[in-house]
Amino acid sequence: MNTINSDHIDFKQKFDEKVEELKETLIPLGKDPGTSCAALTFTSILDVLGREELKKQYFNNLATSFSGMAPFTSKKGWKGPCGAVYGAIAAIGIITGGQEKLVSYEVPKLYSKVLMFANKFENKFGSLSCEEICGYNTGANLKEYIKNRVWENKCCGFILYAIEKVAKLTRKELKEKWNT
């Protein structure tokens, strides 16, 4: 007979609860031009992990800088990814590594999960590029982005989707490395 470990964390339930919470709280955040989709994605996932050391502001600050790359276009035409993509990829790294430094033989598995996430996101939304999926270069057209409520109409959906996909892609690692 199987016994239930009282310390067992139901990460599926925690992720579902976080998504429901965000459905209520994300939209008002779009009124603040300092809101970072990368930071919201990343720190929301870290919050689900429930470790005090992951609630430090430097994780928010780190991920906020990722959103700064969203409006970037290189001289050769490469466009910066959506911040939700950056935040999700960072979270996949944290989850895959567990509570220790990621060991070298696990790096290919991490890369594989990152690529799976990127493929799923691109298949769902048509691109990874912030400008291409939201329709605005937020660096050049932030006022129009806000005026046309792109945050509410599109970006919140990207964040929610990213969080849900990370939960699914990392189920095994959550159970093995975070359920202690």
pLDDT digit string, tens, across residues 20-36: 999 999 999 887 778 89
Look up residue 39 and give its amino acid: A
Domain boundaries, the chain: 11-19+35-66+78-177
- Can you give the pLDDT at residue 7? 59
pLDDT digit string, tens, across residues 89-104: 999 999 999 989 999 9
Contact (Cβ atoms closer than 8 angstroms) between residue 178 and residue 95: yes
Tell me the DSSP string of 94-115.
Answer: HHHHTTSPPPGGGHHHHHHHHH
Which is nearest to 163 in space by CA: 69, 47, 32? 47
